Amino acid sequence: MDDSPLISYKNAIAACMKSLLPGFRKKGYNFIKNGEHTTWLVNIQSSTKSTRDVLIFTINFGIVLNRLAETLEMDIKKCSVWEAHWNERIGGIIDVKDDIWWEVRDEDTLKQNCENLEVLFPKYVLPWFEKWGTENGLPDRWAYGPGRSISEHQKKRYLEILSELKQPSE
Confidence band of 65 (pLDDT split at 50, 70, 90): very high
The 10s digit of each residue's pLDDT in 103-115 is: 999 999 999 999 9
- The full DSSP string for 97-141 is -S---EEE-SHHHHHHHHHHHHHHIIIIIHHHHHHHSSTTHHHHH
Per-residue model confidence as pLDDT tens digits over 7-39 = 999 999 999 999 999 999 999 999 999 999 999
Residue 148, pLDDT score: 67
Q: What's the pTM value of the predicted model, to 2 decimals?
A: 0.90
Q: What is the pLDDT of residue 147?
A: 64
